[in-house]
Homo-oligomer: A and B are copies of this chain.
């Protein structure tokens, strides 16, 4: 058996299931504020992008399918978290504005005690090493998938974050 291939598959299983566990601990934290995870992620992006927050930019950064994001934005608009505007300058662009209610969610979602607790088991060097290794994987996949317009955030250098 090709031992190296074997480790790759195990590493993917480990990575993926740990991701699910972090989501689970994060969901418990969000429950306190009545937030659901992907909504918080979109609000965070839209706030950071400001005037450049468009549906297309959010698709590019999350790497979710366009339909997934579109449905999510519809739901968020219905819930009064965002407003979608057709951009007058660029007719095809859909600009995302975060409402007051959305800003409140943003503030609440900046609390990440669950993440802090999970990562408290690592030394600062281990955190930087994890950042470096995961960034390498990310760069490779962006190349493999030929995602020329992908927004690389957070940056691969943690000092630029």
Contact = CB atoms under 8 A, between A and B. Distances in A.
Contacts of A15: 19, 22, 130, 134
Nearest to A110: B9
A127 B22 contact: no
A136 B21 CA distance: 12
Interface residues of A, number: 62
Interface string A118-150: 111110101101110111111111101100000
A140 B112 contact: no
A133 to B, nearest CB: 5
A60 to B, nearest CB: 11
A159 to B, nearest CB: 10
A21 B122 contact: no
A6, A118, A145, most chain B CB atoms within 10 A? A118
B134 A18 contact: yes
B154 A13 contact: yes
Contacts of A115: 8-9, 11-12
Given A121-B140, A133-B130, A140-B117, A12 B158 contact: no
A55 interface: no
15 contacts: A8-B112, A9-B115, A10-B154, A12-B115, A14-B135, A14-B154, A16-B19, A16-B23, A18-B135, A20-B62, A20-B63, A20-B64, A25-B144, A28-B145, A122-B137
